[in-house]
């Protein structure tokens, strides 16, 4: 995830989805994904919430990659395990600036303290919501509350390969089910599962490249996407 400070711009009330109180919002977007990495016996330990060793280790740069993304698939002894962000230690475990790839990484004080827990599927976001590829977004909860649904017109009809390997068309709806230390203001972070291929043209990773979105008020749609994340 990336860090930028920006202010959400709320526009006038409009009619959408048959609702008179839907809000039009100006947003910009980045994306995040789950890296698939190999256990490394000579690497850095993944520590649990009690700061005990989990039995899994990653090469230093892989460890940083996992810490920055917040969820990781780790391959060990012909099995793949899912680890999810579980909080931060009070002490630094590793300074990711020591890895050349992240030598200019500004959020090293947070990434170097990440703790982990075993998870399932694609991991968990806020309030124990399951992360759903191409649907879940990380948000600033001051702008988009957790559990909200937003509609992005530029996403509707976009074709992508889903988690089951099927070619599908996006309905344009996203669910606010995650947060990130770098997600501030009108910035959202779109979850792509284990894919690094971003299918959305509106995701520019540039705070000056904003697009229109709408906070959905249709209760049936909200229930649908809440249930999808349970």
Residues 190 and 145 in one domain: yes
Per-residue pLDDT at 177 exceeds 60: yes
Residues 136 and 215 in one domain: yes
Q: Is residue 53 part of a domain?
A: yes
Q: What is the largest CA-CA distance in the chain?
A: 59
Q: What is the pLDDT of residue 18?
A: 39
Domain boundary among 118, 139, 164: 118
Q: What is the pLDDT of residue 21?
A: 57
Domains: count for the chain: 2
Residues 97 and 190 in one domain: no
Q: CA-to-CA distance for 222 and 228, rounded, in angstroms?
A: 10
Residues 112 and 178 in one domain: no
Q: What is the pLDDT of residue 163?
A: 84
Per-residue pLDDT at 22 exceeds 80: no
Q: Is residue 2 part of a domain?
A: no
pLDDT digits (tens, 9 = 90+) for 91-101: 999 999 999 99
User: Who wins on pLDDT, 169 or 19?
Assistant: 169
Per-residue pLDDT at 58 exceeds 80: yes
Q: Is residue 93 part of a domain?
A: yes
Measured CA distances, 43 to 20, 57, 91, 101, 122 (Å): 55, 5, 18, 17, 23
Domain boundary among 55, 89, 118: 118
Contact 81, 56 (CB under 8 A): yes
Instruction: Supply the pTM of this predicted model.
Output: 0.83
Q: What is the pLDDT of residue 123?
A: 94
Q: What is the pLDDT of residue 23?
A: 87
Q: Is residue 51 part of a domain?
A: yes
Q: What is the mean pLDDT of the chain?
A: 90
Residues 201 and 134 in one domain: yes
Domain boundary among 95, 118, 141: 118
Q: Which domain holds residue 141?
A: 9-33+126-228
């Amino acid at each position: 995830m990336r860090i930028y400070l920006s202010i959400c711009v709320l526009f006038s009330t409009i009619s959408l989805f048959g609702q008179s109180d839907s809000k039009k919002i100006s947003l910009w977007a980045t994306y995040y994904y789950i890296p698939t990495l190999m256990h490394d016996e000579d690497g850095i330990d993944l520590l649990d919430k009690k700061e005990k060793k989990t039995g899994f280790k990653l090469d230093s740069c892989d460890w940083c990659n996992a810490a920055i993304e917040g969820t990781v698939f780790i391959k060990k002894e012909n099995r793949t395990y899912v680890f999810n962000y579980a909080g931060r230690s009070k002490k630094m475990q590793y300074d990711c600036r020591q890895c050349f790839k992240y030598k200019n990484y500004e959020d090293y004080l947070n990434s170097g303290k990440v703790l982990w827990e075993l998870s399932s599927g694609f991991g968990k976001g806020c309030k124990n919501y399951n992360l759903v590829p191409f649907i879940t977004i990380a948000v600033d909860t001051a702008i988009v509350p957790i559990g909200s649904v937003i509609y992005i017109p530029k996403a509707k009809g976009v074709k992508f390969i889903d988690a089951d390997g099927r070619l599908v068309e996006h309905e344009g709806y996203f669910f606010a089910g995650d947060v990130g230390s770098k997600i501030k203001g009108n910035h959202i972070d779109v979850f792509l599962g284990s894919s690094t291929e971003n299918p959305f043209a509106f995701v520019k990773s540039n705070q000056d490249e904003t697009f229109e979105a709408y906070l959905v008020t249709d209760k049936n749609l909200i229930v649908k996407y809440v249930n999808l994340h349970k």
